[in-house]
């Protein structure tokens, strides 16, 4: 039994080659194999595995049902005039929408960057042997993760009511300068502060999980090579933590992109607030929400592609399971 | 290089003037448990010392204390005349700063049971990392030395591979090359072949033998009695946190004086105690 023809019988409708004999490559391959096998002795044929696959009628039924649903959805999108595809096209690249997109990107990038920076500090603090440090870090995460972001945003927007004056100086001592809170914390700054502090709490936990995932032996090896704390963290621990950190962080970025729409309550003209401004005037609510949604989808698609390459970069040197295949190999 | 202070009485044995590693009255406790107590050990310059003994005897912990990966509870360890982990001024000990401790470790190479190569770096990057980043040596020069080391451990064709794509034996040989790249005067081996399949042990032991012949000081915690017999200048048998017996390989391995040594060797070598 030299040659076990694993491919010659396919098992399911996934393998459409057998059902619809149009897929050239597969067919040619099967052909070549057959031709090659022909001159061999009949003893080999006798031992070739030509088992009949398990019938899977459920898969066929599911295929038909899902196919029907998709057809209905597409039909509706085309025939229902209320979607207003013309209006969507008209507003898609207007300057108000584009500036909304720009502000959404700025909010996302700045608050993610700040959130990651805060997250690294809070995660390292959490792992500090100093109990004050670790408990302060715990308190931070507990508070910012435990209250709704919308509340936090409105809170920062109204911080002037709590602290009318912000002063810079020696703690409990003299102050050098002071500003009016309402003056410094414009709605944009309030939004950035609110989003960053909230994101920092989530990122801290994500980064901590990444650091924990690094094998202790790595740290020992690095120490034995004479690496100092900071070098060890930068060159050995964080790059390896990245592999674990990136998938959930990609998730966070995409969530953040859409969460910036909460800033519309602070009258910040990001994407959602921009289209709101338009449909409040012309009442084309649905088409304009579609404009916003398509932009959000477009941006998340770009981010997903970026995440793929980042994962590939930080996954170097690792043998990973990219597909969850629990069955035997085909 | 200055010699170890002579007032460290317990450890002075014949040949102590040429001692490179000196462990004096060393004790290590983790909370209430004592790992080892009152250990005295001397390894001469350029000598190979093999520490053998059952698991839990405190061998690995002792080795890790020599590299200051663990801190002693009591006693002193000197390497090349320098006190490990502290600075001694008069009667007062001062803890070394992160920078000083790191510099001290960079002069001592260590090879681990589980290799601990950096998985996100290629073989060559693993070797080059510490000399370039820690000792700030010239990169071109380090690269040349790294390639020479890879030739020495027989892996010159794998410099661009990642550790995950190497066999255990190959990984351990890279780990040895990585430690040697810092040009240490002392190499510590913590059960370097215990995680390897028997047929892969040989290639690692061959590299270590070659090293021993080059005259580097080595302390090897091992279960490879053959290696100890062939290469060691001294074999130290530890059990229950104490040194039970020490001597030449022939004395300890062939004619052990202590009952405990005999029993251990019997179980390891698979023959009844004689």
pLDDT of A4 over the 50 cut: no
Q: For A41, which DSSP code?
A: -
> In this predicted model, which residue has the larger pLDDT, A55 or A1?
A55
What pLDDT shows up at residue A41? 56
Mean pLDDT of all residues in A284-307: 93
pTM for this model (two decimals): 0.75
A312 in contact with B at a CB cutoff of 8 Å? no
Which residue on chain A is closest to B135 by alpha carbon? A226
Predicted confidence at residue A243, as pLDDT, reads 87
pLDDT for position A5: 44
Q: Which of 216-245 (B) contact A at CB < 8 A?
A: none
Burial status of residue B49 (CB atoms within 10 A of its CB: 0-12, 13-18, 19 or more): buried
For A63-77, write each residue's pLDDT tens digit: 999 999 999 999 998
Whether residue A217 and residue B133 make contact (CB cut-off 8 A), yes or no, is: no
Residue-level pLDDT at A9: 43
Total tally of structural domains belonging to chain A: 2
Q: Which residues of B touch A316 (CB under 8 A)?
A: 120, 162
Q: Measured between CA atoms, how close is A202 to chain B, in angstroms?
A: 26
Residue A160 has pLDDT above 50, yes or no: yes
Task: Report the CATH number at residue A297.
Answer: 1.10.3720.10
Residue B125 has pLDDT above 60, yes or no: yes
In a domain? residue A146: yes
Report whether pLDDT(A81) > 60: yes
* Mean pLDDT for all residues in chain A: 84
In what helix (H) or strand (E) does residue B79 lie, and over which residues does it extend? Answer: strand B74-79
Task: Supply the range of the domain harboring residue A157.
Answer: 87-329
Residue A130 has pLDDT above 80, yes or no: yes
pLDDT at B175: 97
Same domain, A19 and A92: no
Q: Is B71 on the interface with A (CB under 8 A)?
A: no
Do A162 and A98 belong together in one domain? yes
When pLDDT is averaged across residues A203-215 and rounded to a whole number, the result is: 94
| pLDDT value of residue A164 | 80
Classify residue A55: in a domain, yes or no: no
Higher pLDDT, B184 or A1: B184
Q: Is A59 a domain residue?
A: no
- Mean pLDDT to the nearest integer, B122-149: 96
Residues A36 and A181 in one domain: no
Touching check for A216 and chain B: CB below 8 Å?
no
Q: A245 and A324 share a domain?
A: yes
Question: CA A135 → CA A132, A147, A197, A211, distances in Å?
Answer: 5, 18, 17, 18
- Domain for residue A12, yes or no? yes
Q: Summarize the confidence of residues A151-177 as an average pLDDT.
A: 84
The C-alpha atoms of residue A144 and residue A163 are separated, in whole angstroms, by 19
pLDDT of residue A314: 84
* CA-based nearest distance A108→chain B, Å: 29
* Residue in A228, A231, A236 closest to B118 by CB: A236
Note the pLDDT tens digit of each residue in B205-231. Answer: 999 999 999 889 999 999 999 999 999
Give the pLDDT band (50/70/90) at residue A12: very low
Nearest to A226 among B106, B119, B122 (CB): B106
pLDDT score at B3: 43
Which of A317, A318, A320, A321 is the best substitution to test chain B (most B C-beta atoms within 10 A)? A317
Predicted-complex ipTM score: 0.88
* pLDDT > 90: percent of chain A: 57
Distance from CA of B93 to the nearest CA of A (A): 21
More confident call, A30 vs A249:
A249
- Whole-Å CA distances, A317 to A184, A240, B165: 48, 10, 8
Q: How far is the alpha carbon of B108 from chain A, nearest alpha carbon, in Å?
A: 7
Return mean pLDDT, chain B: 90
Interatomic CA distance for residues B71 and B74, integer angstroms:
9
**What span, in angstroms and rounded, lies between the C-alpha atoms of A227 and A220?**
10
Both structure tokens of A170? 């020696």
- In this structure, the answer to whether residues A243 and A175 fall within a common structural domain is yes
Place of tokens 């993610």: A112
Q: Does residue A292 sit in the same domain as residue A188?
A: yes
From chain B, pick out residues whose CB is under 8 angstroms from the CB of A217: 112, 114, 116
Say whether both A180 and A105 belong to one domain: yes
More confident residue, A321 or A47: A47
Same domain, residue pair A28 and A102: no
For residue range A212-224, what is the model confidence (pLDDT) as tens digits? 999 999 999 999 9
Residues of chain B contacting A314 with CB distance shorter than 8 Å: 120
Each residue's pLDDT tens digit, B60-80 = 999 999 999 999 999 999 999
Whether A97 has a pLDDT exceeding 60, the answer reads yes
Q: How far is B185 from chain A (nearest CA, A)?
A: 13
Residue in chain B closest to A230 (alpha carbons) equals B98
Q: Is B16 on the interface with A (CB under 8 A)?
A: no
Q: Which residue among A224, A225, A319 sits closest to B164, beta carbon to beta carbon?
A: A319
Asked if residue A194 and residue A117 are part of one domain, the reply reads yes
pLDDT tier at A301, thresholds 50, 70, 90 = very high
Residue A324 — very low, low, confident or very high, per pLDDT cuts 50/70/90? low
- Helical axes A95-126 vs A238-259, angle rounded to 10°: 140
- Residue at A291 is within a domain: yes
CB-based burial, A76-95: b 16+ in 10 Å, e otherwise: eeeeeeeebeebbeebeeee
At A53, is the pLDDT very low, low, confident or very high (cuts 50, 70, 90)?
confident
Domain-located, residue A56:
no
Tell me if A316 and B162 make a contact (CB, 8 A cut-off): yes
Is residue A28 domain-shared with residue A168, that is, in the same domain? no
| A35 and A93 part of one domain | no
Residue B133: pLDDT band by 50, 70, 90 thresholds? very high
Mean predicted confidence (pLDDT) in A46-72:
91
pLDDT at A55 over 60: yes
* Reported confidence tier of residue B274, pLDDT bands at 50, 70, 90: very low
The C-alpha atoms of residue B234 and residue B43 are separated, in whole angstroms, by: 8
Residue A249 covered by a domain: yes
Q: Is B56 left (phi over 0), alpha (psi -120 to 50) or beta?
A: left
**Residue A52, domain member (yes or no):** no
For residue A121, what pLDDT is reported?
Answer: 93
Task: Round to whole Å and give the CA distance between A167 and A159.
Answer: 14
pLDDT of residue B9: 40
Confidence of residue A325 (pLDDT cuts 50, 70, 90): low
Residues A34 and A108 in one domain: no
Task: Name the residue among B98, B105, B110 with its Cβ closest to that of A229.
Answer: B98
Backbone dihedral angles phi then psi of residue B187, each to the nearest 5 degrees: -120, 130
Does residue A327 have a pLDDT over 90? Answer: no
pLDDT for A310 equals 87
Question: What whole-number percentage of chain B has pLDDT above 90?
Answer: 84
């Amino acid at each position: 039994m030299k040659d076990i023809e694993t491919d010659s019988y396919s098992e399911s409708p996934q393998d459409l080659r057998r059902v619809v004999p149009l897929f050239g490559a597969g067919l040619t391959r099967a052909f070549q194999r057959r031709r090659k096998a022909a001159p061999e002795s009949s003893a080999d044929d006798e031992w070739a595995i030509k088992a009949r696959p398990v019938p899977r009628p459920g898969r066929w039924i599911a295929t038909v049902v899902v196919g029907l649903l998709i057809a209905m959805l597409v039909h509706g999108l085309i025939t229902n005039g209320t979607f207003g595809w013309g209006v969507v096209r008209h507003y898609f690249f207007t300057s108000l929408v584009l500036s909304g997109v720009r502000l959404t990107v700025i909010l996302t990038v700045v608050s993610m960057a700040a959130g990651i920076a805060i997250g690294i500090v809070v995660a390292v603090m959490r792992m500090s042997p100093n109990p004050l440090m670790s408990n302060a870090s715990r308190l931070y995460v507990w508070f910012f993760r435990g209250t709704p972001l919308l509340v936090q945003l409105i809170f920062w927007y109204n911080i002037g009511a709590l602290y009318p004056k912000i002063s810079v100086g020696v703690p409990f001592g003299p102050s050098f300068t002071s500003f009016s809170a309402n003056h410094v914390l414009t709605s944009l700054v309030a939004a950035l502060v609110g989003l960053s502090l909230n994101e920092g709490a989530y990122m801290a936990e994500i980064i901590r999980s990444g650091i924990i995932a690094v094998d202790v032996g790595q740290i020992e090896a690095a120490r034995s090579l004479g690496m100092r704390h900071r070098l060890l963290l930068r060159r050995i621990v964080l790059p390896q933590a990245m592999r674990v950190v990136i998938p959930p962080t990609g998730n966070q970025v995409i969530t953040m992109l859409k969460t910036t729409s909460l800033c519309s309550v602070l009258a910040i003209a990001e994407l959602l607030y921009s289209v709101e401004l338009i449909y409040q005037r012309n009442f084309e609510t649905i088409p304009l929400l579609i404009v916003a949604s398509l932009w959000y989808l477009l941006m998340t698609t770009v981010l997903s592609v970026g995440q793929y390459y980042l994962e590939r970069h930080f996954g170097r040197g690792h043998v990973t399971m990219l597909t969850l295949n629990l069955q035997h190999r085909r | 290089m200055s010699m170890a202070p002579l007032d460290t009485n317990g450890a002075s044995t014949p040949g102590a003037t040429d001692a490179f590693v000196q462990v004096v009255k060393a004790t290590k406790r983790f909370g209430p448990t004592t790992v080892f107590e009152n250990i005295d050990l001397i390894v001469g310059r350029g000598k190979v010392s093999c520490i053998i003994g059952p698991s839990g005897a405190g061998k690995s912990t002792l080795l890790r204390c020599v590299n200051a990966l663990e801190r002693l509870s009591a006693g002193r360890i000197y390497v090349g005349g320098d006190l490990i982990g502290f600075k001694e001024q008069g009667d007062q000990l001062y803890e070394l700063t992160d920078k000083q401790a790191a510099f001290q470790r960079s002069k001592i190479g260590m090879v681990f049971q589980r290799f601990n190569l950096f998985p996100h770096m290629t073989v060559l990057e693993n070797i080059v990392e510490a000399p370039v980043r820690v000792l700030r040596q010239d990169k071109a020069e380090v690269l040349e030395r790294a390639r020479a080391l890879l030739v020495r451990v027989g892996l010159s064709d794998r410099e661009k591979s990642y550790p995950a794509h190497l066999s255990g034996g190959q990984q351990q040989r890279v780990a040895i090359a990585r430690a040697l790249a810092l040009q240490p005067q002392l190499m510590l081996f913590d059960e370097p072949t215990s995680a390897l399949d028997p047929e892969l042990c040989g290639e690692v032991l061959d590299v270590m033998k070659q090293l021993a012949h080059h005259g580097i000081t080595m302390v090897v915690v091992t279960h490879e009695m053959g290696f100890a017999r062939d290469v060691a200048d001294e074999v130290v048998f530890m059990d229950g946190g104490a040194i039970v017996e020490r001597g030449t390989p022939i004395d300890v391995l062939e004619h052990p004086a202590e009952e405990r040594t005999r029993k251990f060797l019997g179980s390891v070598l698979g023959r009844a105690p004689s």
